[in-house]
Structure 1
Amino acid sequence: MTNGFDSLDGGPRPVPRRSGAFLIGMVAFLGGLALAVWALSSWPALRDMLAIETGPPPGATAPVQVQPVAAPPASAAPALAPALAASLDGRVSEIELRIDRVAERANAAGANAARAEGLLIAFAARRAIDRGLGLGYIEAELRTRFGAAQPQAVALVIDAARQPVTLEDLQLGLDDLAPALTSGVDSEGWWTALRRELGGLIVIRKAGTPSTGPAERLRHARRLLAGGQVDKAMVEIIRLPGHNEAGNWLAAARRYVRTRQALDILETSAILQPRGPATPPPLLPEPTPAR
């Protein structure tokens, strides 16, 4: 009789039959794999069908391959369309026209400034001479501004300013000479003066004609002096009987007239011949040629 402890005494155990099944499965797997490889290599249609099934999903986007573009050579310039080239030429011409206008306005402004400067210098010289004052710094300005164009007028004005003759001086001198100018006794003698006086007792003249008597001529000369018409006042003084006594006065009056004529010449020169730059500076820098 055996008990339940016989198997625990070290008797032989039955060996499980798993190794045979495992070998059969491995052989079947390898055979299927070889069959699949042979089928894919032998049937192209099957290979294409498997490629379609294993392709990218419908929503996926295929990567875009960017082809490199060959850069144009550095020396090649882009060609412009004829219409664009004509438009650019028109704009360039318009800009050049505007620049020319600006240059003309700048030149005109410079000429006007030169005229104003010359007139101010001439007016300052006239004002100083009318007041009997020296020119001071104006003398150098006269030489610089008008010395080349009007040297004689400049020299005359400068000389007159050193020994000025004013209108007031001429009026006072005429008042001092009035008795000798109207009588003429000292210059022409008593007999000649008496004959002249007797001849002037009765004078026939047309209505509206000014009197030719010495007293009337002297009054007329004074009125002309008060109005600044020294040249016409000189004519009246020369017609007076005692004009020989007025030699110094007439010389001063002639100097006064020549000085004002020289000042007129300087003022006219300032207006007609403004001194400006020979070549005005360019408004824009000259373009450098392309290398």
Structure 2
Amino acid sequence: MIDRAAACGDKTGMSSDEPLALEPARGLSPLVKNVLTALVAFVAGIAGMAAFTWLRGGDDAARPVPAPAPVTQPQQMPVRALPPGTDVATLSAREQILAGRLDVLETRLRDIDGSARNASSYATQAERLMIAFSVRRLLERGDQLGPLEAQLRRRFGETHGEAVSIIVQAANQAVTLEDLRAALEAIAPRLLVAPDAGLWTRATGLFGDLVVLRRDDTPSPRAADRLKRAQRMLAEGQVEGALAEIARMPGAASAENWVNNAKRYIAARNALREIELAAMATPAAPPATTR
């Protein structure tokens, strides 16, 4: 700025021909400028924040306030009532009833097991009987035992080993009742007289048979009568009786082969009878199984 007073005073003291010299204006210092700038920025920031708060407050007033969420109480589980009949006394009574039923079932199982074991025993007995009767039929026909020999040894060999051996030997050298009858017919003439008897002995023996004194209840001792009785006994299957009659005849020494065959036949039948009796015997009950 130009100081007008100074200019007027100076104008009176100088001549009008000299030009006026202007005094340079003094500006603000940089520190003052920075302070003013910071102050203006601070005021502007406060004003902006106030305007923003005022505008935001209007929006919140217009917006409805949400209702508070209801407070949910935790749901309690209902206590289940015990079904009827589950008290201690009832359960104890049921346990006793079940124990009784288990005892009955166990008894029935033991009875069933015993019946099964008895059935198995009787099945074994039936098999033994079938083997014994089959062996008898083979011996009567004079046939070999074949596969029955192994069954015979397995079923009876342990307790009746000797009888089994006699039967097997008799089957290998078969002698039937018909063989004995035919052989007796063939040697009958030699049985009537001794083989080493002379003519006089034979004549006296022949005349002696004409007159025989004996009791009524005793059989005739004549050789011809003994032969007839032996033949009749063989026809009836009584080999032992026929053998006894042949052994008392005058020519018994000439019937050695027949006597041996008859003895083997008798031994085989006795052994077979032993096997059959063992097969028909009631089998012992097998031991009960422990549970």
Q: Structure 1 residue 103: deviation in Å?
A: 1.8
Identity of aligned residues (%): 40
1:67 aligns with 2:78: yes
Q: Is the 2:226–2:245 contact (alpha carbons within 8 Å) kept by the matching residues of 1?
A: yes
TM-score normalized by structure 2?
Answer: 0.65
Alignment-derived partner of residue 124 in structure 1: 134
Equivalent residue for 1:159, pick from 156, 165, 169: 169
- Residue 163 of structure 1 aligns to which amino acid in structure 2? Q
* Correspondence 1:63-142 to 2 at 5 A: 67-69=78-80, 81=91, 83-142=93-152
Q: 5+ unaligned residues in a row in structure 1: which ranges?
A: 1-64, 72-76, 287-291
Distance 1:273 1:151, change over 3 A: farther
Name the larger-Rg structure: 2
Q: Structure 1 residue 116: deviation in Å?
A: 0.7
Over the aligned positions, Cα root-mean-square deviation in angstroms equals 2.9
Distance 1:143 1:210, change over 3 A: same
- Residue 79 of structure 2 aligns to which amino acid in structure 1? P
Deviations 1:89-137 (A, max 9, x none): 3322222222222222111111111011011111111111111111111
Distance 1:146 1:98, change over 3 A: same
1:220 aligns with 2:208: no
| Aligned equivalents of 2:281, 2:169: Cα separation in 1 | 25
1:243 aligns with 2:229: no
Equivalent residue for 1:233, pick from 242, 245, 249: 242
TM-score normalized by structure 1?
Answer: 0.65
Count, aligned residues: 213
| Aligned equivalents of 1:160, 1:249: Cα separation in 2 | 15
| Aligned equivalents of 1:189, 1:79: Cα separation in 2 | 112
Alignment-derived partner of residue 202 in structure 2: 193
Alignment-derived partner of residue 212 in structure 2: 203
Alignment-derived partner of residue 61 in structure 1: none
Alignment-derived partner of residue 154 in structure 2: 144
Deviations 1:135-175 (A, max 9, x none): 11111111222121211111111111111011111001000
Q: 5+ unaligned residues in a row in structure 2: which ranges?
A: 1-75
